[in-house]
Structure 1
Amino acid sequence: MRLSVLGPLVLGGDHHALGPRDRVVLAVLASRPGSTVRTDAIADALWGEAVPASSAKVVQGCVMRLRRALGVTAIETVGGGGAYRLALHHDEIDATVFADAVSVAADLLADRQPDRAHYHAGRALDLWRGDPLPELEDWPGASAERAELVEQHHAAEEVRAAAAVDLGLHAEVVPELLRLAGDRPTRERRWQLLALAEYRSGRQADALATLRRARRILLDDFGLDPSAELGALEVSILAQAPALDLVAPAFRETECPYPGLLAYDVGDTAMFYGREPDIAACLALLDRSGVLAVVGPSGCGKSSLVRAGLAASLVRDGRAPTVVTPATTTVAALAALEPGTGGVLVVDQLEELFTAPREEQDRFVAQLLRVVADGSGLVLGIRADTMGELSSHVQLARRVEGGLHLVGPMSDVGLRRAIRGPAEQAGLSVEPGLEELLVREVEGQPAALPLLSHVLRATWAEREGRTLTVAGYRSTGGIQEAVSRTAEDLYRALAVDDQELLRQLMTRLVSTDEDAASVRHRVPVRTVGQDDSQRQLVDRLVDARLLSSDGENVEIAHESLTLAWPRLRSWLDEDVEGARAMRHLSVAAQTWEAMGRPESELYRGARQQRVAEWRRRDRPRLTEVEAAFLDESEARAAVELREGETRLLAQRRTNRRLRAGLAAVAVLAVV
């Protein structure tokens, strides 16, 4: 539930959602979000010195009504009813978002990044609607909080104006600076910026007049001595010092703000746009049920939503979530986690669990249920087509029922924010027409976000200065061809041997299930990077954002790669059995190695014969462990074959002796 206090209090966009007393109570709590507020302080804000005897019950009634409007967990009772605490999420209160944006803008301006500072200051000022918390205007208890918000507003105005001057927009910003200086004449920074903007606009006389006016107002109207900086600026303007001339800020080559096919992670939250309604809905479900399942089709952006959206929001709340995946987290490691009451465990890509043996699944699920029983929150990211597997774990499925959030295609508004937001954050601009072109091509597609992010990354590489252009986008081949072109260009640049190595690597990392859906497989780097050629190939694929790696494991960046790159799809379709044999061999060999290479884990019988035939026919590139596993299996099969032949010969000799004995008995019987 969005709470706006930078102006008259607004709850969820409704200006008339609350009665007068309820508005005051909520305003008091919102003035100190996350802090305990005593009942007598709330009563003081409601009635001043004339506090009635029934004040505690009246405040309690207000809190009950507010909980119905905000949610039962939004206001916590502290000290047996003697105090309350507003427990809304950090991003649900405009004042906290405003303060963050002002701080970021000031830091960027100090770091000589005026383009980005201008964006963040503007984002903060867009939230400002007037004097903050006017419901508490007559309550001294909120004067410090209100004054702090007003001071942040003044700072945001000055940061944006200073950034505009540094960007060369001095002529356009002069009227705004005249207004700012008139509104707060004691803030010297505004007079200095105004004089500098006038000087850079070729109006030296006006700049000097501005400084003289500032000095007169400070001395005569307020009895304040002008600072040394004001006098130094006047001297510099008189001397037309070169230091005052505009120096075009060099465009700082930062990293591309679009991750391509890779999912946005917790650290990428500043660049994650377009899923704000989903984030709010997920937080509300998690608050209500304690267990949340984010469900959607492959490629819809579940991991990005869970990590850069939900988990990052929890970080801003101070809850420090723990993010894991079944493929990289053992049951023992999960058992060692202690999120604690108020903590949250986030399990992304839960579908990976269902490829493990049933016993391991049960142990993993038991640990998830333990986390919930301990009072921690649980967030699951799971592919929609594997929900049937989840239902077989009845206890967990029952807990999930009340916290399902289905992720659908991004809306038109969300897509536009996903295009423009990261660009503006990075100090880039988007050429008119590019946004509409991109939205039209991906609107309604479930895998829109990764494809959009990839083509924007390619467009960024073709940018003109700081501008993402339509021409740059068209040079990538468009949404449908950008991914394929990236992969195909890399493939064609490889030598023939490396092309075959690439085919074997990709079919090891991805497969298709019975429904032809793509399934990613995370494998240890050591198994696919045994020599220099393999390691160099993996590095090239990671650099191209076709693979992702955490240093220990590697996997394809996104399932949508199998749809966008026809060559990979053809590889998967050509050798389904071979790919299945490779995946089974990889798991079996690693298990055999981990158990100390026992003979009981080797391939035997028909499976050993099929895999041996596949190895002779396809000559796959195997790891040392896989090759040793097959060699041992083949050697064991040969031993068993010889032992079988020996037993057969012995049996034949025994049969011959028996037949000879029977013949002799028959002859004697005839005689």
Structure 2
Amino acid sequence: MPRPERPLDNLDDPAAQLAAGLRRLREKAGNPSYRSLAVLTNFSAATLAAAASGRKLPTLPVTCAYVRACGGDVAEWEGRWRELAGSRPPEPGVPVEGVSPYVGLAPFQTDDADHFFGRGLLVDDLVRRVSQRRLVVVFGPSGVGKSSLVRAGLMASMPEPAVLIVPGEHPLTDLALQLAVLARIPAGALLDDLAGDPSHAELVARQAMLAESGELLLVVDQFENVFSASVPDAERAAFIGALVSLCREGSGTRVVLAVRADHYSRFVEFPDLLAAMQDGQLLVGAMSPAELREAVVRPADRVGLRVEGALVSAIVAEVAGRPGALPLASHALLEAWRRRRGTTVTLGGYQAAGGVDGAVAATAEGIYRDLDDEQRLALRRLLLRMIDLDDLAGVRGRRVPRSQINAADLVDRLVDARLLTTDHGSVELAHESLIRAWPRLRRWVDEDRATLRAHRHLADSAVVWEELGYDQDTLYRGSRLALTRRWTASPSWRSALSPLERRFVDESVRHEAAETRRRDRRRSVRRWASTVLAGLLPLATVAGAASMVDPLVCEREAVGLADVRTGLLVAAEDGYQGLDAGLLRARTRPDTYGTWEQFQRCRLPRLPDNFLLRGFAAHRRFVSARPRQAEDTVLRLSQASKGPYEWLRAVPVADGQVALYSIGRSRYLSIRREGPSRYTGMLQASATSTGDAGRFRFTALP
């Protein structure tokens, strides 16, 4: 016969109240022995007996297992346990009294250095490397703590002035803004200077440090953003060139890059950067169990709190060997602190928050549940706007200007819950681990992956349209516009567009409708003219000898101009929307069929050696010489149906090669090789002989 249980003393204690309820439930189930309950629960008999002893509050899993084995209502008892444990979750976003020693998903900042523990040895190693080398690159997987290491560790430990940059879509602009503040010079002028010669960054940094003692520490966090497809190739190269110049001996600057390890291979594309980082690499791995204990316990000690030993053991067990779980653990500790009992951060509060794998989802779901249907839809669109598709890592977070966000109240609520962060007028995910940890958000991304890409392209195109003074040539048309109209027809996606994006789509629709009406009118005029000319054909035959103007004869085949030195087609790059859109340029990379500008060769019947090139695919424009500035005449794609065409003569050179000769300007066409790489391949009529001229051959398009 089982031994009777000890009477409960203080029924005012939450542990005793829960124990009394568990005992009554066991009596209703027929007073089974704890050994028989242990078989049903997979918990030991001693653990189950301790749960009903009243000495301390059992954990939530033990309580639920006890109730399930006795045939009780698990959901009801879970609510009772949370109430007695004082761990009922506070409303998400509602401030809790006191200063949290944990930062949640967001990385530790320089001001959080007093609460940053567990990386002491690594910080010392990084400081030593930075003092010995001009460039140090910190590699590590997502969520391992790189940002916290360089911010709360390195920057807080170095006595020198430190500047932090998180590159966005225009990294050179971000660098120019920071250096301009230090050097007290206009940022716009500095940006133009760096775009022309990135090596001038070294001179600006030296100028900025003339009045300072020591050297400048430049930290570039999330350096992998530079490799994003949204960053123009020329700006990426200029930004990296500026960083390399800042790493030179005597520059007075030391540079630290923090980058995700899965982007390591991208460094081989920049030989100068690769050479500068030799022997200057630091790999950040997972914390050891001792480091994890320090990271959990020491921050609480600093603010007068105590962490239960069972909670420390649970954190170590769940996080050890998982380098990407640190942000999740930090958020779980933050939620456990919000549910603390007095001055103790308890295992019960940690489990009630959902633990490492469930705390983020529990916080996000708590906010989601409190929203109505319209607000839930706004939340989905808001978070998807802050997610970018990454070819290497699948998805990643991206910063979004507040001006592009319509749900300010929702943003504030997510910021208070530490799921989003704000900085310099922009908003972003506190950490990209939110995407992995919240199943609902992960499902949204999977469902809207194609639309995410289309929305991102639309956002970039709308910004370019605005920057170029609402140039109509940058508007959507054709199949891209048709696709955009389909996915923006949904009221939910339509509401997710920023005002600028909606204006861009509406203006594209109006512009295409106007072009369609103009084409219809031209077809009507041509049909009418054909009817009239058919009646006048006998008269035209008689008067033909007196005609001074002959119609153009255009051959039907599609051809491209191939530069024989590079083997690249000379064509207008599809999708480029800059001020010089339409320039004939040699492509710098191979591409698929459809992006090349296709041409017809049009000849004059009386002068068979003279011709012009007429684009007939997407642009339907003539190649003409149209001056942009004095003495700056280049071949351009003109919308004019008649005008100062560039009449060319193909002069045979050798082996099927030709040099194009401009009849109007008495010059051969050449390829201008100097200047920014974006304009390399511009055709100019500047050569005086075939030896200096660019050589081409007519090549069928792929």
Aligned partners of 1:265 and 1:595: how far apart in 2? 37
Which residue number in structure 1 is paired with residue 149 of structure 2? 305
Pair 1:377-2:232 in alignment: no
Residues 384-416 of structure 1 show CA distances to partners (whole Å, capped at 9, x for unaligned) of: 222233332221122122211111111111111
SS at match of 1:380: strand
8 Å contact from structure 1 (residues 264, 307) kept in 2: yes
Q: Residue 593 of structure 1 is aligned with which of 463, 466, 482?
A: 466
Pair 1:550-2:394 in alignment: no
Which residue number in structure 2 is paired with residue 288 of structure 1? 132
Deviates more, 1:628-637 or 1:461-470: 628-637
Q: Residue 375 of structure 2 is aligned with which of 498, 501, 504?
A: 498
- Counterpart of 1:455 in structure 2: which amino acid? A
8 Å contact from structure 1 (residues 331, 363) kept in 2: no
Deviates more, 1:323-332 or 1:269-278: 323-332
Aligned partners of 1:653 and 1:445: how far apart in 2? 76
Pair 1:359-2:234 in alignment: yes
Which residue number in structure 2 is paired with residue 569 of structure 1? 442
Aligned partners of 1:655 and 1:616: how far apart in 2? 41
1:324 to 1:552, Cα distance in 2 relative to 1, 3 A? same
Which residue number in structure 2 is paired with residue 320 of structure 1? 161
Pair 1:277-2:121 in alignment: yes
Residues 534-553 of structure 1 show CA distances to partners (whole Å, capped at 9, x for unaligned) of: 11100011011110012500
Aligned partners of 1:305 and 1:594: how far apart in 2? 37
1:557 offset after TM fit, Å? 0.6
8 Å contact from structure 1 (residues 512, 572) kept in 2: no
Alignment of structure 1 residues 425-504 onto 2, 5 Å: 425-504=302-381
1:264 offset after TM fit, Å? 0.5
Which residue number in structure 1 is paired with residue 497 of structure 2? 622
1:375 offset after TM fit, Å? 2.9
SS at match of 2:489: helix
Which residue number in structure 1 is paired with residue 281 of structure 2? 404
1:590 offset after TM fit, Å? 2.4
- Counterpart of 2:426 in structure 1: which amino acid? N
Residues 489-515 of structure 1 show CA distances to partners (whole Å, capped at 9, x for unaligned) of: 111110100100011011100133234
Which residue number in structure 2 is paired with residue 17 of structure 1? none
Alignment of structure 1 residues 211-230 onto 2, 5 Å: none
Aligned partners of 2:355 and 2:397: how far apart in 1? 25
8 Å contact from structure 2 (residues 165, 175) kept in 1: no
Aligned partners of 2:240 and 2:338: how far apart in 1? 44
8 Å contact from structure 1 (residues 511, 572) kept in 2: no
Alignment of structure 1 residues 238-257 onto 2, 5 Å: 253-257=97-101
1:366 offset after TM fit, Å? 2.4
- Counterpart of 1:414 in structure 2: which amino acid? E
SS at match of 1:511: strand
Which residue number in structure 2 is paired with residue 413 of structure 1? 290
Residues 293-328 of structure 1 show CA distances to partners (whole Å, capped at 9, x for unaligned) of: 1111122211111111111111xxx20211111127
Aligned partners of 1:383 and 1:642: how far apart in 2? 52
Q: Which runs of 5+ in 1 are unaligned?
A: 1-251, 667-671
Which residue number in structure 1 is paired with residue 91 of structure 2? none
Aligned partners of 1:646 and 1:349: how far apart in 2? 54
Residues 457-504 of structure 1 show CA distances to partners (whole Å, capped at 9, x for unaligned) of: 000011011101111111112111111010011111101001000110
8 Å contact from structure 1 (residues 455, 483) kept in 2: yes
SS at match of 1:258: coil
8 Å contact from structure 2 (residues 165, 174) kept in 1: no
1:288 offset after TM fit, Å? 2.3
Which residue number in structure 1 is paired with residue 521 of structure 2? 646
8 Å contact from structure 1 (residues 300, 409) kept in 2: yes
Aligned partners of 1:335 and 1:362: how far apart in 2? 18
Aligned partners of 1:565 and 1:658: how far apart in 2? 71
Q: Residue 349 of structure 1 is aligned with which of 222, 225, 236?
A: 222
8 Å contact from structure 2 (residues 136, 277) kept in 1: yes
1:660 to 1:565, Cα distance in 2 relative to 1, 3 A? farther
Aligned partners of 2:278 and 2:523: how far apart in 1? 61
Aligned partners of 1:408 and 1:392: how far apart in 2? 25
SS at match of 2:371: coil
1:472 to 1:539, Cα distance in 2 relative to 1, 3 A? same
8 Å contact from structure 1 (residues 547, 557) kept in 2: yes
SS at match of 2:428: strand
Q: Residue 507 of structure 1 is aligned with which of 376, 384, 402?
A: 384
Between the two proteins, the alignment pairs up a number of residues equal to: 408
Aligned partners of 2:418 and 2:110: how far apart in 1? 18
Which residue number in structure 2 is paired with residue 637 of structure 1? 512
8 Å contact from structure 2 (residues 459, 501) kept in 1: yes
SS at match of 2:277: helix
Q: Residue 104 of structure 2 is aligned with which of 254, 260, 264?
A: 260
Aligned partners of 1:641 and 1:621: how far apart in 2? 29
Deviates more, 1:616-625 or 1:534-543: 616-625
Aligned partners of 2:341 and 2:139: how far apart in 1? 39
Identify the structure with the greater helix proportion.
1
8 Å contact from structure 2 (residues 363, 417) kept in 1: yes
SS at match of 1:568: helix
Aligned partners of 2:531 and 2:174: how far apart in 1? 58
Aligned partners of 2:167 and 2:424: how far apart in 1? 17
8 Å contact from structure 2 (residues 262, 392) kept in 1: no
Aligned partners of 1:477 and 1:253: how far apart in 2? 21
1:663 to 1:364, Cα distance in 2 relative to 1, 3 A? same
Aligned partners of 1:304 and 1:458: how far apart in 2? 20
8 Å contact from structure 2 (residues 337, 345) kept in 1: yes
1:290 offset after TM fit, Å? 1.4
SS at match of 1:433: helix
Alignment of structure 1 residues 529-544 onto 2, 5 Å: 530=406, 534-544=407-417
SS at match of 1:309: helix
SS at match of 1:447: helix
1:554 offset after TM fit, Å? 0.2
- Counterpart of 2:132 in structure 1: which amino acid? R
TM score, norm. by length of structure 1: 0.58
RMSD: 2.2
1:380 offset after TM fit, Å? 0.5
Aligned-pair identity (%): 39
Aligned partners of 1:395 and 1:479: how far apart in 2? 42
Identify the structure with the greater strand proportion.
2
SS at match of 1:549: strand
Alignment of structure 1 residues 12-27 onto 2, 5 Å: none
SS at match of 1:344: strand
1:334 offset after TM fit, Å? 4.8
Which residue number in structure 2 is paired with residue 244 of structure 1? none
Which residue number in structure 2 is paired with residue 125 of structure 1? none
Deviates more, 1:465-474 or 1:368-377: 368-377
1:390 to 1:645, Cα distance in 2 relative to 1, 3 A? farther
